[in-house]
Amino acid sequence: MPVQRTLSIIKPDAVGKNVIGDIIRRFEENGLSVIGTRMTHLSAAEAGRFYAVHEGRPFYNDLCAFMSSGPILAMVLEGQNAVVLNRQLMGATNPKEAEPGTIRADHADSIDANAVHGSDSEENAAIEIAFFFSDLDLQSRG
């Protein structure tokens, strides 16, 4: 399986609940390494740029408001099959549909406040990583 990088964001709800450590533990225990981190507080406009692909969808404004409602932790995960593995650990977008034991099943409250973001493809991962990080910020273990 290829070694990949993917972008993970711990969203404002999970940062507010003090479960950063629990979420990172799940990544590390499943073979993903954290190779870059950045805690920040996005403006609504910055959240809108990050989620530009969803512009025009009915949930877009709520999503931008929520993502700018408090601090987030953006990080780059590296490991074999990182994109799909991260999505599996996250669970379904709607926590009511998330598999037991996933991050969203355990920490998400609603489809809006759903604890984490993860890139959905290697191509989008590269774009999303570049949104938050430069190469100098990343310390590969490879």
Q: Catalytic positions, please?
A: 117
131 marked as part of a ligand binding site: no
Name beta bridge partners: 38.
74
CB atoms within 10 A of CB 120: 15
| Range 51-110, binding ligand IDP (CB under 6 A) | 59, 63, 93
93 marked as part of a ligand binding site: yes
Q: Is 112 in the site for ligand IDP (CB under 6 A)?
A: yes
- CA distances to 13, 59, 104, 139 from 66, rounded to whole Å, are 9, 11, 16, 30
- CA distances to 33, 99, 107 from 92, rounded to whole Å, are 22, 7, 12
141 marked as part of a ligand binding site: no
User: Which of residues 113 and 138 has its CB atom nearest to ligand IDP in the complex?
Assistant: 113
If binding means CB under 6 A, how many residues of this protein chain bind ligand IDP?
Answer: 8
Interface residue with ligand IDP, options 5, 26, 107, 117 (CB under 6 A): 117
Strands (E), 1-142: 3-10, 33-40, 72-80, 116-118
Contact segment (CB under 6 A) with ligand IDP among 13-21, 27-35, 68-76, 111-119 equals 111-119
- Site residues, ligand IDP (CB under 6 A): 59, 63, 93, 111-112, 114, 117, 120
